[in-house]
């Protein structure tokens, strides 16, 4: 970014560099995948804008951008089921992030531990137990 000399950011810098250069999409968002630090299950998929990412880094509590409400979303602010972030990992092209977290309660608004509580069986969905 600004600290790079010589103009444009290269693919090499993005993929192999040691500097965070998040590639927000046209709506200013990264895809965020939250996993449980203990079970390693995927808990939820959400989105982060620059502010949500910064707040997550500053506070250690996961923040997202709610696309449906079009506002910053501190996960668990009303339910109490916050996500304590232990580590974040970014992908090769820096447009997606894995948030490894300790969940204070169910991650899903339905009360399920994970939002991914149904597996596909053709066109049918079957509740999973793990």
Under 8 Å between Cβ of 123 and 84: no
Q: Which is nearer to a second copy, 104 or 115 (CB)?
A: 115
Contact with a second copy (CB under 8 A) among 42, 61, 72, 104? 42
Q: What's CA 102's distance to the chain center, in Å? A: 13
Q: Apex CA 86: angle with CA 82 and CA 89, to 5°? A: 110
Supply the minimum distance, in Å, between the C-beta of residue 127 and a second copy: 8
* Residue 96 bridge partners (DSSP): 31
102 in contact with a second copy (CB under 8 A) = no
88 in contact with a second copy (CB under 8 A) = yes
What span, in angstroms and rounded, lies between the C-alpha atoms of 105 and 49? 24
Instruction: Give contact residues for a second copy (rule: CB under 8 A).
Output: 15-20, 31, 33, 35, 39-42, 44-45, 57, 87-92, 96-98, 108-110, 112, 115-120, 122-126, 128
């Amino acid at each position: 970014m600004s600290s790079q000399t010589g103009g444009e950011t290269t693919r090499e810098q993005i993929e192999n560099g040691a500097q965070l250069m998040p590639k927000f999409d046209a709506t200013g968002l990264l895809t965020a995948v939250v996993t449980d630090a203990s079970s390693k299950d995927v808990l939820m998929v959400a989105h982060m804008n620059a502010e949500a990412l910064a707040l997550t880094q500053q506070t250690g509590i996961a923040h997202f951008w709610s696309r449906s409400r079009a506002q910053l979303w501190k996960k668990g602010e009303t339910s109490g089921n916050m996500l304590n972030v232990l580590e974040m990992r970014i992908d090769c092209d820096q447009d997606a992030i894995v948030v490894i977290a300790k969940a204070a309660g169910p991650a899903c608004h339905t009360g399920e531990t994970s939002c991914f509580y149904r597996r596909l069986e053709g066109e049918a969905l079957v509740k999973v137990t793990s």
